[in-house]
Amino acid sequence: MGMNRLCFVVCCLLFPLVCAGAQYRAGERTYNPDNQFPHWEIGTAWEGSSSEVSLLNGQLSSDGLHGVSGRLLYYPYPATAVGIEGTYFGKQSLVPFVTSYRVHRFGILGKLHLSAQTNPRIYLVAGAGQTSHQLKYKSPFEGLNHTKHIFYVTGGIGTEISVYRCAFVLLEGRMIYNKATMLSHFYTFTKRWEGNVRLGVGARF
């Protein structure tokens, strides 16, 4: 799925939920104003990315990534959280030389709720970290095997809906900027920017 198509799908999914979340619903408070609010959040999600890899001559070798991600956040204040997140994407092959292309990402994240006392709730996220790209080549190019580490920054918007006590489901869309595009002597990103969508579950306690 190309970046433009992924971004369009994310916007279509987020728009109605963002509109719904802006409406306050009496009796559905999720944070206690007497400082007894939940301080921890954990979550897991399916994650899709529009990141595409091509040969230096422009021939496309991959078409997006998908995998699983996890997140651990701490809330010093009811609507503000900071923490860590990581993503492990599924293995791919890159035509014509790479038999195994593995990507995993780890970084720090900040989260700000714009409607902390509604259900659904709308929030913003921003963060930074490092993405590791591991390439294993076919014979006789095994000597070129290596891992490329690339710094990234990210920002986006999401919505979450309480489903049972401290549990919720979430939908989140982000844009990610990669500091570098070159992966190896043969492969490169088609663009520095990539669209990213997360669909998952979480809990606060």
pLDDT digits (tens, 9 = 90+) for 101-132: 999 999 999 999 998 889 999 999 999 999 99
Looking at residue 20, what is its pLDDT?
44
Tokens of residue 15, six digits: 């728009």
Backbone angles phi, psi at 29, to 5 degrees: -65, 135
Four-point Cα dihedral 52, 54, 58, 60, nearest 10: -70
Looking at residue 119, what is its pLDDT?
93
Looking at residue 54, what is its pLDDT?
94
Looking at residue 98, what is its pLDDT?
94
Q: Write out pLDDT tens, residues 22-47.
A: 444 444 444 444 468 899 999 999 99
Mean per-residue pLDDT over the chain, rounded: 87
Whole-prediction pTM value? 0.82
Looking at residue 6, what is its pLDDT?
52
The Cα–Cα gap between 80 and 123 comes to: 9
User: Is the confidence at residue 2, as pLDDT, over 60?
Assistant: no
Looking at residue 34, what is its pLDDT?
46
Looking at residue 121, what is its pLDDT?
95
Domain containing residue 108: 3-204
Looking at residue 149, what is its pLDDT?
98
Q: Is the dihedral of CA 165, 83, 15, 62 positive or negative?
A: negative
Kindly report the CATH number assigned to the domain that includes residue 45. 2.40.160.20
Please spell the DSSP secondary structure of 156-204, one letter per residue.
Answer: EEEEEEEEETTEEEEEEEEEEEES--B-SSSEEES-SEEEEEEEEEEEE
Domain count, the chain: 1
Q: Write out pLDDT tens, residues 46-92.
A: 999 999 999 998 889 888 999 999 999 999 999 999 999 999 999 99
Count CA atoms within 13 Å of residue 43 on its CB side.
Answer: 26
